[in-house]
Chains A and B, each alone.
Chain A
Amino acid sequence: MIKLTPEEEQTLSGRYGILRQKALENIVSYAEVLGARELCKVTKATVFCGRHEYLDACGKDDFDEVFSRAQLGSDETVKFDSLYPSCHVQSCVGPCEDKKNREFRQSDALFTVNRHYLDRAKEAGVTIVGTCSPYLNGWIPIPGEHFVTTESGMTILGNSLWGACCNSDGIEAAFWSAICGRTPLWGKHTREGRRGNVRVRVDASPKSPVDWDIMGKTIGDRLPVNAVPVITVDFSQVSFNNLRQFVTAIAVSSNCEMCHIPGVTYDARSEAEAFAGKIPSYSIDISVDDMNRTYEKICTPKSGKVGLVSLGCPHYDIYQIKKAVDYLKGRKVAPGVNFQIWTTYPIKAVAEANGYLDAIREAGGDIYTGTCPTTIGRVFLEQFEGLVFDSVKQSGSVRSSVSAPNYIGDMERCLDAAVSGVWKEDYRWKMS
């Protein structure tokens, strides 16, 4: 039985309208499945807006009908027209680039219906930002703040680095919380759920972003369900971008929502504090050889022709774009190579103001916003002979959609591949 506040009781009775009522009914059912006893108030949310490919399963396009069935789980059509007043809500990536669809082989009809879906979300109160990295737009939860998000990288980053509180929930539950302002007080929203329960020791000194990315996947692949790892490794080369690459790779290869890195992340200054006096149930040792084996499993062997080079998963910040421009030094990408950098609207505007956008375009590429290759889907990806990414997350998601050769490397090696038009053996990553 869930303990409810008077406001929650009134919401369930329909006082604040059927949309908020349905959303809270779902949150209460969700809390009961988890075994939670009460709810907590949510003040930040990112939600997954737009006419995404998975919604094809609904067999129709009418916004309210699709929203009701897919997001509310309701056969009754309920209009999505409001959010909880004190919850700040932004959109995650959509299925289409902000302004272009034909170069991504998406129909004008899809682009139009997607725009309608985004407009309807905007009318309900969602700020459309179209990014997996809402913190680049100033959407940053503070320690102890309860938030929901549809982005796994944001979940683990918010819990770990910023000490805020979030479960992985899902796309539907993020909408429910944004509408009714509540989520179950369970898991990472509680002190007990944040306690470390797995010890991870890594015998390596990661430096480059791909070092951190591969280390994250190597750890994530070995974690048991519901792990909160406490990780010890040489963190002397840690930076925000290395850290977000690292924790995102952990999240997408497990169901991990939070990790402790004593001295780096928010909740614990020491291993003992992270485990809160309890003995971890599980220990994992990771070696350089383990990381090299992970890479060999996920990067296609040998050389190959390249069709797509895509950077920016998670979406790049301005310094990563500058670094790409500096590395290119006026070189141009090979004919036939589609070279892309993905970021947020404001970062793209800053890139334009600083001449980086022109530099990327002069090189034969472009900077895009609003989505990413895997979210656009197979319709775009299936045309390419070889795919190059600087991200374990993007590479892995794409691999489930298309079987083309799929290469992973640091930004610099990806840019070399874009310029040469070929992924070469000596671009392959190896942990030293």
Chain B
Amino acid sequence: MENVVIKGRGAIPGKASGHALVCPSSITGWGGIDPVSGVIKEYDNVNKGESIKDRILVMPGSKGSNGWSCYFSVTRTSGAAPRGFLFTNVDSSCAVAAVCLKIPTVVDFPSSSDPCLVIENGDYVEMDGGTGEVTITKNPS
């Protein structure tokens, strides 16, 4: 198995690990996910039907309605939260989601190591929200 290490800016400290869910076109705000189950509902999302629960959620940033962070933040109480966030570039909506969920978060990766391009669905990711270091194990069994 191949290990890849990339580094961004640590935004919310803490360590997390899990299988990646990569949404290269993000997930739309207002109704993009079911916050009770964590399942993606967005009609044209490549991961429609997948759940964000216990995943390392990888997105370029936010998309759509200002009602974006709220769908993620209430997963804290429903138990459907992801374990960590990796955002290619921070923006205001994804920053609020990270603050509300209080899960390890790494943002602002250099263009040469965009996590949306480096990481694939199912890769095993270990991340440190303090140092910004992200270790990816490709194609785990």
A31 to B100, CA, bound (A): 13
| 16 further contact pairs, Cβ within 8 A, besides A56-B35, A57-B35, A226-B89 | A30-B99, A33-B105, A34-B92, A57-B74, A73-B73, A73-B101, A151-B66, A152-B65, A167-B91, A169-B92, A171-B67, A172-B100, A174-B66, A225-B88, A255-B93, A400-B41
A254 in the interface (beta carbon within 8 A): yes
Nearest-Cβ distance from residue A323 to partner chain B, whole angstroms: 27
Q: Tell me which residues across on chain A come within 8 A of B78, comparing CB atoms.
A: 57-59
Do the beta carbons of A56 and B36 come within 8 Å of each other?
A: yes
Do the beta carbons of B62 and A173 come within 8 Å of each other?
A: no
Query: Of A34, A57, A173, A397, which is within 8 A of B30 by CB?
Result: A397
Chain B residue nearest to A183 in the complex (CB)? B92
A70 to B66, CA, bound (A): 15
A396 to B31, CA, bound (A): 10
Nearest-Cβ distance from residue A58 to partner chain B, whole angstroms: 5
A43 in the interface (beta carbon within 8 A): no
B95 in the interface (beta carbon within 8 A): yes
B124 in the interface (beta carbon within 8 A): no
Count the B residues whose beta carbon is within 8 Å of the partner chain — how many?
50
A35 in the interface (beta carbon within 8 A): yes
- With A57-B36, A374-B31: A168-B66 Cβ-Cβ less than 8 Å: yes
Do the beta carbons of B98 and A33 come within 8 Å of each other?
A: yes
Which B residues fall within an 8 A CB radius of A? Answer: 9, 11-12, 26, 28-32, 35-36, 41-43, 60-71, 73-78, 80, 88-93, 95-102, 105, 107-108
Q: Tell me which residues across on chain A come within 8 A of B26, comparing CB atoms.
A: 225, 255
Nearest-Cβ distance from residue A23 to partner chain B, whole angstroms: 12
Query: Of B9, B92, B100, which is within 8 A of A167 by CB?
Result: B92
Q: Tell me which residues across on chain B come within 8 A of A149, comparing CB atoms.
A: 66
A240 in the interface (beta carbon within 8 A): no
Q: Name 16 A/B residue pairs within 8 A (Cβ), A-sorted.
A: A32-B11, A34-B95, A54-B67, A56-B36, A57-B74, A58-B77, A59-B78, A73-B76, A73-B100, A170-B93, A172-B69, A225-B26, A225-B61, A226-B89, A252-B29, A400-B32
